[in-house]
């Protein structure tokens, strides 16, 4: 494989573009501290990516199942935190963090291991050069889907309390009363991956495929890889989303078919 | 008298009174343990200031919120009845109604039997024009919502009516109609727990032929109403 190596000076030239943006923002007095935020974000990105590069390099050198597993667990925990940050309503107690995290963990790890052991089959199967990027892609998308679905479910349950309880009062079962909301939550969680698959190739060239092409892989080979990844992402998102939304819906009720909004923490707006 | 937490039971004790709804030691955050009994054909009027816990009490009886204590309907414990069936037998009609479909008729379990009920509540049953069941919910007035919410609950033929200010948004004519419909259900053997702020309404309900008693609720405690 032939690819063009970048020197640090090449990267520095590209950084001039960011500096130019910042200077324009200052000059035109667009204000709002935008130039600061731009520079801080750029610096953060450089530091974070460099660190990740170093970590990946060490992991690839070690090819240890335990180190790889440790990295995977860390990634899952960060993804769980991100799911939580994107929810405006949350469960109380263990469920606050546990619901989103455990659903994305089960789904992403299941799909990643399946792909590694049956389709990509590196040697050994847990080789971090394959396992970590694969898990990252699946995890990132599953996380987005789960966050969207849970947010829709929980804000919807609060907003539609009167309509849900009206159905309960008329003798409907809780699952029937909540069904429209569960459907909406599943739909909104699946929208990003559905959109990504529909637009792939026409509007955007997916990142991984582009990367492989830049590093000299034959386009048809890169396309095959991308299709595999899209299917894995769709599978992971669907599984994680279904688990999170169904478990969330169960947590919203009890054996007496009540709507248990008391199991949600007060929203930021309601807190004193 | 003088046993202020056991309304009903001691008054009727000598007549071999068998209450339709019997609430024993019912409690939840916001209300002190409540005991009350309502017989078939009886209307229990519950007054008291806003925030006293009247709505919480009705919700607890309907089992919509976690609560402790025992509730019996015709001697059968609520715990032995699945919650959806319980709520069809003891119908709670909140003061603010909830709607989940676009058309009014979709909120009725058996719309075809609702027509006479709508007539008596002063709503168009559809004999001449498009009836209330075909109206879109978004176009309902407050009073129409309130009466339709009552109608869809009554259409289930509940044995106990838990009514939270069922006439608060109604004009005098509609109020009388609602009172008459409820009275009709009571003569057919239902029982009602009727929350109202309106002293005149309470007098009217009590002054009519209805068998009724008045209670008042203050800061979560139910007691006998004065006069």
Nearest to A170 among B63, B96, B152 (CB): B152
Measure the CA angle with vertex A179, ends A176 and A181; round to 5°: 140
pLDDT over 60 at B116, yes or no: yes
pLDDT over 60 at B44, yes or no: yes
Predicted local distance difference test score (pLDDT) of residue A31: 63
Predicted local distance difference test score (pLDDT) of residue A34: 74
Contacting B with CB below 8 Å, chain A residues are: 160-173, 177, 180, 254-260, 262
Nearest to B156 among A160, A170, A259 (CB): A170
Give the DSSP letter string of A134-184: HHHHHHHHHHHHHHHHHHHHHHHHHHTHHHHHHHHHTT--HHHHHHHHHHH
Measure the CA angle with vertex A244, ends A243 and A247; round to 5°: 80
- Sign of the CA dihedral running B110, B115, B120, B121: positive
Predicted local distance difference test score (pLDDT) of residue A24: 84
pTM value is 0.87
What residue ranges in chain A does DSSP mark as E strands?
Answer: none
Domains of chain B: 9-224 (3.40.50.300)
Contact A168 B64 (CB under 8 A): yes
Alpha carbon of residue B22 to chain centroid: 15
Query: pLDDT over 70 for what percent of chain B?
Result: 88
Predicted local distance difference test score (pLDDT) of residue B53: 93
Instruction: Enter the tokens of residue B63.
Output: 């089992």
Instruction: Enter the tokens of residue A239.
Output: 């599984």
The four Cα atoms A117, A120, A125, A131 give a dihedral, to 10 degrees, of -110
Confidence of residue B14 (pLDDT cuts 50, 70, 90): very low
pLDDT over 50 at B1, yes or no: no
Predicted local distance difference test score (pLDDT) of residue B130: 63
Confidence of residue B205 (pLDDT cuts 50, 70, 90): confident
Nearest to A257 among B83, B92, B96 (CB): B83
What residue ranges in B11-125 does DSSP mark as E strands?
Answer: 21-28, 31-38, 42-47, 68-73, 76-77, 90-93
Predicted local distance difference test score (pLDDT) of residue A240: 97
ipTM: 0.89
Check if the beta carbon of residue A236 is closer than 8 Å to that of residue A215: no
Confidence of residue B16 (pLDDT cuts 50, 70, 90): low
Cα separation values, B32 from A141, B36, B218, Å: 50, 13, 10
pLDDT digits (tens, 9 = 90+) for B76-103: 999 999 999 999 999 999 999 999 999 9
Check if the beta carbon of residue B4 is closer than 8 Å to that of residue B155: no
Contact A257 B84 (CB under 8 A): yes
Candidates A160, A168, A169, A260: best to mutate against B (most CBs of B within 10 A) is A169
- Cα distance from B147 to chain A (closest Cα, Å)? 14
- Cα distance from B171 to chain A (closest Cα, Å)? 24
State the Cα–Cα distance between residues A180 and A191, nearest whole angstrom: 17
Predicted local distance difference test score (pLDDT) of residue A32: 62
Predicted local distance difference test score (pLDDT) of residue B5: 45
Predicted local distance difference test score (pLDDT) of residue B3: 45
Nearest to B37 by CA among B25, B55, B17, B23: B23
State the Cα–Cα distance between residues A138 and B149, nearest whole angstrom: 48
Q: Collapsing DSSP states into helix, strand and coil, what is residue B61? A: helix
Nearest to B100 among A166, A255, A256 (CB): A166
Question: Which residues in chain A show pLDDT less than 70?
Answer: 1, 30-33, 268-272
Alpha carbon of residue B20 to chain centroid: 14
């Amino acid at each position: 494989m032939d690819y063009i190596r970048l020197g640090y000076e090449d990267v520095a030239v590209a950084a001039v573009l960011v500096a130019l943006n910042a200077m324009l923002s200052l000059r035109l007095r667009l204000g709002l501290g935008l130039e600061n935020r731009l520079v801080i974000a750029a610096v953060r990105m450089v530091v974070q990516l460099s660190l990740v590069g170093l970590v990946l390099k060490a992991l690839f050198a070690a090819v240890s199942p335990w180190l790889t597993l440790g990295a995977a667990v860390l990634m899952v925990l960060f993804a769980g935190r991100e799911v939580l940050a994107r929810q405006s309503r949350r469960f109380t107690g263990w469920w606050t963090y546990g619901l989103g995290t455990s659903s994305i963990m089960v789904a992403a790890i299941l799909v990643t291991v399946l792909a590694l052991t049956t389709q990509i089959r590196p040697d050994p199967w847990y080789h971090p050069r394959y396992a970590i990027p694969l898990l990252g892609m699946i995890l990132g998308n599953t996380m987005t889907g789960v966050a969207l679905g849970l947010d829709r479910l929980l804000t919807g349950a609060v907003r539609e309390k009167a309509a849900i309880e009206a159905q309960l009062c008329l003798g409907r079962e809780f699952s029937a009363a909540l069904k429209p909301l569960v459907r909406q939550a599943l739909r909104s969680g699946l929208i990003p991956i559905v959109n990504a698959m529909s637009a792939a190739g026409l509007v955007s060239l997916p990142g991984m495929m582009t990367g492989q092409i830049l590093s000299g892989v034959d386009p048809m080979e890169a396309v095959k890889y991308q299709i595999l990844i899209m299917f894995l992402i769709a599978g992971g998102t669907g599984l994680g989303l279904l688990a999170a939304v169904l478990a969330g819906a169960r947590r919203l009720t009890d054996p007496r078919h009540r709507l248990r909004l008391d199991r949600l923490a007060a929203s930021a707006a309601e807190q004193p | 008298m003088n046993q202020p937490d056991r309304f009903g039971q001691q008054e009727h004790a000598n007549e071999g009174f068998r209450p339709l709804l019997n609430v024993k030691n019912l409690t939840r955050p916001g209300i002190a343990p409540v005991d009350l009994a309502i017989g078939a054909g009886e209307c229990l009027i519950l007054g008291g200031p806003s925030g006293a816990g009247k709505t919480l009490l009705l919700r607890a009886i309907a089992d919509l919120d976690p609560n402790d204590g025992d509730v019996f309907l015709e001697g059968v414990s609520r715990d032995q009845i699945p919650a959806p069936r319980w709520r069809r037998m003891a119908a709670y009609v909140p003061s603010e109604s909830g709607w989940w479909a676009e058309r009014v008729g979709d909120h009725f379990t058996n719309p075809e039997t609702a027509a006479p009920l709508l007539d008596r509540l002063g709503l168009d049953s559809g004999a001449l024009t498009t009836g209330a069941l075909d109206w879109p919910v978004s176009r309902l007035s407050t009073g129409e919502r309130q009466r339709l919410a009552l109608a869809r609950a009554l259409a289930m033929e509940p044995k106990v009516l838990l009514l939270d200010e069922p006439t608060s948004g109604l004009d005098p004519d509609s109020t009388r109609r609602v009172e008459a419909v409820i009275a009709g259900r009571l003569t057919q053997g239902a029982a009602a727990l009727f929350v109202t702020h309106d002293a005149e309404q309470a007098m009217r309900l009590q002054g009519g032929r209805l068998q009724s008693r008045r209670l008042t609720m203050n800061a979560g405690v139910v007691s006998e109403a004065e006069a």
